[in-house]
Amino acid sequence: MTADERVVVVGAGLGGLSAACHLAGAGHEVVVVEAGPLPGGRAGSASIDGYRFDTGPTVLTMPHLIERCFAAVGASMADHLTLRPVDPMYRACYADGSELRVRHGRDAMTEEIRRVCGPAEAESFGRFCAWLTELYELEMPRFIERNFGSPLDLARPLGPALDLVRLGGFRKLARSVGRYFDDDRLHRIFSFQAMYAGLAPYEALSIYAVITYMDTVNGVYVPEGGMHALPLALAAAAEQAGVKLRYDTRVERILLRQGTTGAVRGVRLEGGEVVPAKAVVANPDLPVAYRTLLPGLPAPRSTRRGAYSPSAAVWHVGVRGELPPGTEHHNIHFGREWEGAFRALLRDGTRMPDPSLLVSVPSLREPSMAPPGRHALYVLEPVPNLDGQVDWQDERPRLRADLEHALDRLGYPTDIEAELLVDPLDWEQRGMERGTPFALAHTFRQTGPFRPGNLERRAPGLVFTGSGTVPGVGVPMVLVSGELAAQRVAEMQAGR
């Protein structure tokens, strides 16, 4: 290969792997350079005392976006990865003792709502799904799977932007959900997804209801072998298509023709080796990429002064004992507090006084993740990022004790045989700005063309992928970001 033929992808996270597949499918010679021993990035894996934990995302939606990555390199997803629907997708547990299961399929979910919340709410669910679907079908191709040149592109063409206003996309999400349902339990299960965007439901715009669509209408899936099977499969398909993957290899710097500006020349690895390239796609967290790989090139202002999403404390626990009756793969335990809990987290920068917890039990569907008779638990509490008021060195023992107490109170076994606790300091050490795996919050001024762009015009040939750039946070969005990055390289090659 020569520099004129090569694209280097820095990082084998899901965004980098998606970009590699789409670049290879378009005929580029691709080299992926990954600092770790395996692909995955945030979608990693850890083995401890006979337990295997997925250390990144635990909820997987929108499988057609995964299929597109495989199709780009002429592969079939079925030959590399098996996805199984999770049904129920969530077990929602409320402080009053009631439970609601979010079921696959509209008919099944309608009946579940009828059983728990009554016939009027069940009838409203059909109208709610129709609204979600119309919103998704409008947003996905026109506002999400799209590279923007400037904010003016939001109104080009004008029709879709007007349709977004007509559908109430700029109302507050909590208010939009409240237009369909009276039951507070439904308000919570259909609006908590705003947290994925780094916002409270009462402050998030309804355009983020597309995340609710992905969960509630499109459905939740789990890869056979656990979540880490996804990056392993993408890497295998890319490699079969001719992509060269170099593991345990750290990039020291992205090389530009004028040192701190100018066209991309390639990358320099630790140890001094230079890999020439016509383009570089950078997958590390965007502000971290600027700081560590592009010294002297200032990061976009929004990454320095923007509002970052809350973080998450995740406790991976290997336990011995019986699960409480009715436990499902994903279990959301809502606290009594709702708006007050969000105010503490987002306004005050403190831990929620009565937090809602996600407890996933991946070993229910993937027994290989735990020894016989044991279970692997994934316990998540939303917490402030490092801009908050918490001293995590002091708080860490209290956090662990609180999570253990919560598991015991909720009926989960607490005979702990293996554990890994991840707090914001750990996320920061893993290369995530402000100690959050969720990047910049999706406020309106940090979304779409207002989010840090994936094209660095001061360094032609430099493109970004991942949650820190467009379209944003979450596995589906990160996979799309890889496709958008590949499109940017194609545009550069075409001289546009």
Provide the pLDDT for residue 313.
98
Task: State how beta strands 6-10 and 29-33 pair.
Answer: parallel
Task: Flag whether 91 is in a domain.
Answer: no
Three-state secondary-structure class, residue 354 = coil
Whether 90 is covered by a domain: the verdict is no
Query: Looking at the domain assignment, is residue 30 inside a domain?
Result: yes
Give tens-digit pLDDT for 418-430.
999 999 999 999 9
* Cβ–Cβ under 8 Å, residues 492 and 264: no
Q: Do 299 and 319 share a domain, yes or no?
A: no
Q: Is 347 exposed, middle or buried (0-12, 13-18, 19+ CB in 10 A)?
A: exposed
Task: For residues 386 and 362, state if they share a domain.
Answer: yes
Task: Please indicate, yes or no, whether residues 200 and 348 belong to a single structural domain of this protein.
Answer: no
The parts of the chain modelled with pLDDT lower than 70 are 1-3, 496
Residues 234 and 172 in one domain: no
Same domain, 144 and 77: no
Alpha-carbon distance 357 to 409, whole Å?
A: 12
Residue 255 · residue 277 · CB < 8 Å: no
What secondary structure letter does DSSP report for 321? S
Could you say which of 218, 248, 264 is where a domain stops? 218
Task: Give one DSSP letter per residue of 443-472, joined into a string.
Answer: -GGGSGGGSPPSB-TTSTTEEE-STTSSS-
Which structure tokens are listed for 120? Answer: 């009027």
Burial 401-414 (b: 16+ CB within 10 A, else e): ebbbebbeeeebbb
Pick from 433, 465, 484: which residue ends a domain?
A: 433
- Cα–chain center distance at 220: 14
pLDDT at position 493, please?
A: 82
Clarify whether residues 240 and 193 are in a common domain.
no
Residues 196, 284: one domain?
no
Helix (H, G, I), strand (E, B) or coil at 261: coil
* Mean of the per-residue pLDDT values of the chain: 96
466 found inside a domain: yes
The answer to whether residue 89 sits within a structural domain is no
Give a three-class secondary structure readout of 270-310. CCCCEEECCEEEECCCHHHHHHHHCCCCCCCHHHHHCCECC
CA angle 7–9–13, rounded 5-degree value: 155
- 327, 418: one domain: yes
Q: Residue type at 17?
A: L
Residue 257 sits in a domain whose CATH number is 3.50.50.60
Both tokens of 51, joined, read 């337990």
Question: Is position 55 within any domain?
Answer: no
Same domain, residue pair 429 and 450: no
**Same-domain pairing of 429 and 321:** yes
In this prediction the pTM is: 0.97
Contacts of 456 (CB under 8 A, 6+ apart): 297, 462, 463, 464
CA dist., res. 487 & res. 146, Å (int): 9
| Backbone angles phi and psi of 187, in degrees to 5 | -55, -45
Q: Distance of CA 54 to CAs 154, 317, 361, Å?
A: 37, 11, 11
1 within a domain of the structure (yes/no)? no
Which of 384, 404, 433 corresponds to the end of one domain? 433
Give the domain range for residue 242.
Answer: 6-44+62-83+226-305+439-493
Report pLDDT for 1. Answer: 46
Instruction: Say whether both 293 and 316 belong to one domain.
Output: no
CA distance 286 to 13: 13
Sheet holding 83-85, edge to edge: 60-61, 220-223, 83-85
The residues with which 272 forms a beta bridge, in sequence order, are none
Q: Is residue 428 part of a domain?
A: yes
* 3-class state of residue 116 by DSSP: helix
Say how many domains are in the chain.
3
Same domain, 134 and 212: yes
